[in-house]
Amino acid sequence: MSTQIVLIRHGETDWNVEGRIQGHLQIPLNRRGRAQAEALGTHLQGTRFDAVYSSDLLRALQTAQAIVRHSGHEIREDMRLREWDLGVLAGLRRTQAEHDQPRAARIRRDYLVDEPIPGGESIRQRFARVTAAVSDIAVRHRGECVLVVSHGGPIGDCYRRATGNRIEERMKIDLFNASINQVYIDSDDWSLASWAQIDHLAAIGSLPNWEGRSKNEDS
């Protein structure tokens, strides 16, 4: 019995717009991000979810809260759904990171998947914790439909797991703020159902990437 996982990337923050690295910092949604979250709630109010999970970071929680105002679901927080722990890079703009933390910036820029960011984690470590969390959710809700609100990096990890792309391969995929993305999980078998749905944001807009960076990178 497959579990349908509906993956939502959090709404926009000022730091998304400014190109600042968020990592595990607690950054709220900005005005457009709140509008995106409300649009998600309206769009999804006719969809039956058996459970709602969210990263415990503020930008994800605020997005999830806007959605469940329409459905009344309890939000189950899971720290494993957090964004990439970017350690010493958190709070910096990319140009500042290159100057102040060149080693850490190189790990991120050159996609060195097995090197942890100082004070943080590696891409492979993030992939392992995120896919383990989503797999656990799928087992807990076998045959059901579950909403999961997370971040660009973790949602990209789910895409990679569902499509069988090796973690060493760079991917160029859309990771829109407040987008709807769907995978099916049946035991160890993941498959992609749909990706980067943003019709509900037609009047609001959404950032697909960050100032020309490769679309699989995270903030």
For the annotated catalytic residues, the residue numbers are: 10, 83
Distance of CA 136 to the CA centre of its chain: 17
Q: In angstroms, what is the C-alpha Rg of the chain?
A: 16
Q: Is the dihedral of CA 126, 194, 25, 132 positive or negative?
A: negative
CA distances for 77 relative to 54, 62, 82, 158, 201, angstroms: 5, 12, 10, 18, 25
Instruction: Give the H or E element holding residue 69.
Output: helix 58-71
| Cβ pair 30, 13 in contact under 8 A | yes
C-alpha distances out from residue 14 to 17, 47, 116, 217, Å: 5, 30, 26, 18
User: Helices 123-140 and 152-163, interaxial angle, to 10°?
Assistant: 70
Instruction: Look up residue 44 and give its two tokens.
Output: 């999804």
Q: Which helix (H) or strand (E) holds 35?
A: helix 31-44
